[in-house]
């Protein structure tokens, strides 16, 4: 068994254990393997172990892998900050975008998604920690953004995503995840959109996120190991 295979097994077991502790069905939580900065060979190895969904943060790097590995039929999620001038590449290559935080980006994705392709699954990124340096719509503004995005063609609004501030305070982290869940529930109450996705939780805190209702956990380091950032983090 390779290190990557063992890591995948351990993460899957951790997800299952967290679900059982939370009284949830493990089938409700999907593992998104965050493959940013790792070579296509690592994705191929993970796919050979049954992993189908992969997350990328950097547009050019991610698009290269999507093209190189097209024959594998994988599901690709863009989870990083998205600049307007890169939206066409993402609209063309990815199945999901987790980081929509303003209407302009959603409109560009909608306009640039080819009509013969299935609509892109979209999550709105919410700034649950209120950090000035962090992307995301404010919780108080998310209902109106959801209303506008849900009306766009070639997009399918699925739910919300968050990246809380790093902290050792588990109670604070749980409150951030709970805020995302309540924001999703408020959208469903007000707009009746039936949003089903909460993209929250990473290698360090997925257990807490699952306890608060995560349906997608984004795990990179615990699967692929430590990473070295690319020379141009905006590529």
Digitized pLDDT (tens) for each residue of the chain, 235 residues in all? 899 999 999 999 999 999 999 999 999 999 999 999 999 999 999 999 999 999 999 999 999 999 999 999 999 999 999 999 999 999 999 999 999 999 999 999 999 999 999 999 999 999 999 888 888 999 999 999 999 999 999 999 999 999 999 999 999 999 999 999 999 999 999 999 999 999 999 999 999 999 999 999 999 999 999 876 654 544 4
- Give the number of domains in the chain: 1
Looking at residue 206, which CATH number applies to its domain? 3.20.20.10
> Which two structure tokens, joined as six digits, stand for 111?
């306009």
User: Is 230 part of any domain?
Assistant: no
The backbone region for 194, taken as left when phi is positive above 0, alpha when psi lies in -120 to 50, beta otherwise, is: left
Q: Give the pLDDT score at 1.
A: 83
105 in any annotated domain = yes
Please indicate, yes or no, if residue 121 is contained in any of the structural domains. Answer: yes
Residue 232, in any domain of the structure: no
Write down the pLDDT at residue 229: 62
DSSP E strand stretches across 57-154? 75-78, 96-100, 120-125
Please list the residues that pair with 78 across neighbouring strands: 56, 97
Instruction: Give the whole-angstrom CA distance, residue 146 versus residue 184.
Output: 10
Domain containing 14 equals 3-224
Instruction: Please report the pLDDT score of residue 233 as a whole number.
Output: 46
Task: Please report the pLDDT score of residue 56 as a whole number.
Answer: 98
Q: Residue 133 half-sphere exposure, CB side, CA atoms within 13 Å?
A: 2
Q: Is residue 235 part of a domain?
A: no
| pLDDT of the residue at 232 | 53
Rounded to a whole number, what is the largest CA-CA distance in the chain? Answer: 49
């Amino acid at each position: 068994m390779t290190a990557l295979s063992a890591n995948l097994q351990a993460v899957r077991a951790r997800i299952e254990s967290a679900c059982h502790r939370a009284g949830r069905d493990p089938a409700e939580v999907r593992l998104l393997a965050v493959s940013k900065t790792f070579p296509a060979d690592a994705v191929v190895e993970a796919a050979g172990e049954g992993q189908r969904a992969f997350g990328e943060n950097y547009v050019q790097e991610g698009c290269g892998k999507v093209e190189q590995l097209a024959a594998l039929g994988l599901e690709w999620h863009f989870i990083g900050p998205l600049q307007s001038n890169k939206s066409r590449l993402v609209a063309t290559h990815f199945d999901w975008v987790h980081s929509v935080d303003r209407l302009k980006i959603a409109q560009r994705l909608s306009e640039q998604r080819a009509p013969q392709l299935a609509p892109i699954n979209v999550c709105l990124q919410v700034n649950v920690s209120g950090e000035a340096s962090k992307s995301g719509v404010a919780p108080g503004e998310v209902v109106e953004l959801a209303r506008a995005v849900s009306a766009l063609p070639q997009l399918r609004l699925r739910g919300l995503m968050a990246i809380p501030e790093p902290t050792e305070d588990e109670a604070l982290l749980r409150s951030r995840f709970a805020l995302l869940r309540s924001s999703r529930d408020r959208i469903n109450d007000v707009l009746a959109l039936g949003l089903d996705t909460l993209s929250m939780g990473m290698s360090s805190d997925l257990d807490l996120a699952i306890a608060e209702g995560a349906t997608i956990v984004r795990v990179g380091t615990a699967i692929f190991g430590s990473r070295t950032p690319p020379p141009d983090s905006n590529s």
